[in-house]
Amino acid sequence: MSTAPEIRITAAGATHVGQVRSANQDSILSDPVQQLFIVADGMGGHAGGEVASSLCVQAIDQHVQEQKELFAPSPLRTHPDARVSNMLGNAINYASTKIYERALEEPSLRGMGTTATVVKIIDDYAYIAHVGDSRCYLLRREFIYQVTNDHSLVSEQVRAGILTKEEADLHHLRNVITRSVGYQEEEDVDTTSLALEDGDKLLLCSDGLHGKVTDKDISFHLKAHATAAVQSLIDLANANGGDDNISVVIIAVSVGPRGGE
């Protein structure tokens, strides 16, 4: 019987305060053993953003670990598996509830929230769940694709044909997001999945990276340095101004032949 192909994952991640901010409100998780990867970009006065992003990562990690029977090896598994996408959406909303409840307990944290971009790899499939304007990119066969859509005011206007991408990049409201984790108990979560191919690279990042580094430069560094591009991309974002916290997680994929073939 044919089984899932052998997949090998290498990953690296880092977060940096940048050149302007006094505190880092981003949080990340890069766990190649669990094959779970998260970037969360917090927002909120005082320590709110830092608390929100940290709670988000912890809560998603906890929820996914509690659902580990869903990932047990099985010859009957088929992809894409809607149960996994639903689980990741529920994980983000579990985090949203935790953040919202914490804000109710501590008035100084009222209004805090965070983005969340999550990748969970099972067999040779990547499952992605997303809220906010952090991003997931795919580099495949020399081409880079933005997998997620930004939940931001200007991005929605670009998709509606009101603004061009060039206008959006310079717009004074470009940092206004339309969805966040924790501002309310539940949020609409985008989910998608894709079959992985040998040589694929996935990159998760906060807007501290993609707001300062072009897709072309992201692609160049991924091709040249693979997972080591984490540091070179952070350095480039800082060289280009570094006016926000910068978070990068890179996942490199190697896919072997299917068992039994």
Give me the count of residues in the chain.
261
Cα–Cα distance, 177 to 164 (Å, whole number): 18
Domains and CATH numbers, the chain: 5-258 (3.60.40.10)
Q: Looking at residues 75-101, what average pLDDT do you find?
A: 95
pLDDT digits (tens, 9 = 90+) for 186-243: 999 999 999 999 999 999 999 999 999 999 999 999 999 999 999 999 999 999 999 9
Cα–Cα distance, 39 to 29 (Å, whole number): 7
pLDDT digits (tens, 9 = 90+) for 77-86: 899 999 999 9
Q: Looking at residues 149-153, what average pLDDT do you find?
A: 88
pLDDT, mean over the chain:
92
Q: How far is CA 256 from the centre of its chain?
A: 26
Cα–Cα distance, 37 to 141 (Å, whole number): 22
pLDDT given at position 1:
39
Task: State percent of the chain over pLDDT 90.
Answer: 79
Q: 158-192 b/e with 16+ CB inside 10 Å = b? A: beeeebeeeebeebeebeebebbbbbeeebebbbe
| Phi (first) and psi of residue 71, to 5 degrees | -105, 0
Q: Which residue has the higher pLDDT, 51 or 257?
A: 51
